[in-house]
Amino acid sequence: MKKSLLKSKLKQIFLKHKLSKNHAEICSNYLVKAEILDAKGHGLARLKMYCDRIKAKVINPKPKIKIKKISSSASYIDADNSIGFVSADIGIKQAIKNAKKTGIGLVAIKKSGHYGLSSFYAEQAVNNKLMVFCFTNAPAALAPHGAKKSLFGTNPICFGVPTGGVPFVFDASTSMINRGAIRRADKLGLKIPYGVALNKQGRITTNAKEALRGTQLPIAGFKGSGLAWMVDILSGVFTGSSHGGKTKDPFDDFSGPQNMGHLFITINPKIFIGSKFIKEIKKNIKLVKKLPKAKGFSNILYPGERRNKTYKKNLNKDISIPAKISKEMDELNA
């Protein structure tokens, strides 16, 4: 399907679910962008979930989002249980505004929901010539190191910085693969890679449904578990949001809003070394790229380069929509 037509259909669906024109536009843009980036676990596969949660009144389609000024650098946002795309879009724009004033922007968001890819927001900051950290918590999916029950989310860590060329954007979940990929595999009857999740009995499984009922494996064992915990503190405890396994699963738990937390930190990268920053980061990247290549590698890519290539490659292509998701879209638009 052509992107313009898909965007129009998505906007129509969100409008039917009582979102404002502006909020419907924001959500549609982010879902289409996820598809272009081949991040399909964060794209159309989640559309029905968002709409179901609006119908169940656990996402507020008409939120009264409040921004509280803590200082010239810090802001605290009450998202009023809005869809996550909307609150995060407002939050990153406020963080950018604060950093442009003072050199640093710190924005905490509470009472939000799933906001898609962290890189969506990091990119906005980098395009404004700022360094950025993005954190968000998520429903229980990872067992803390030493435990046999899931508690932490797949809590991603995202960092972005301008380079004078393709932005450096590192966006990675603290699990072996993101939960959206497993959700999509379950929806479409696909297998998941070996070694990324355990079933309820603690055995490795390639069955997506078993993985969702079991637990996902963190990156790098104890280290990945520690990073997931760090993000739970930063985006959950620190922001006054749900944490410690209390974030509701958006697909399975309709007993109330998710109350997810997000934290954005934006920094003017020139505050210490001025205009030398871009020169130095270019030198840093060049030093890495000049290293001898390991077997099978023709190039050493930095985070963000592969993503940029994927985006350019897919930008002018039509978006392929699986029949099951296409049917869901028709039903949501009926």
pTM for the whole thing? 0.93
**Residue 236, pLDDT above cutoff 90:** yes
Determine the pLDDT at residue 82: 98
Determine the pLDDT at residue 332: 97
Domains annotated for the chain, with CATH where assigned, are 1-55 (1.10.1530.10), 63-175+218-267 (3.30.1370.60)
Q: What is the mean pLDDT of residues 201-228?
A: 93
Q: What does the alpha-carbon distance between residue 120 and residue 306 come to, in Å, rounded to a whole number?
A: 15
pLDDT tier for residue 196 given thresholds of 50, 70 and 90: very high
Determine the pLDDT at residue 220: 86
For 121-161, the pLDDT digits (tens) are 999 999 999 999 999 999 999 988 888 789 999 999 999 99
Provide the percentage of residues in the chain whose pLDDT is more than 90.
Answer: 96
Determine the pLDDT at residue 151: 94
Q: With b meaning 16 or more CB within 10 Å and e meaning fewer, what string describes 263-288?
A: bbbbbbbbeeeeeebbeebeeebeee
Provide the percentage of residues in the chain whose pLDDT is more than 70.
Answer: 100
pLDDT tier for residue 118 given thresholds of 50, 70 and 90: very high
For 284-298, the pLDDT digits (tens) are 999 999 999 999 999
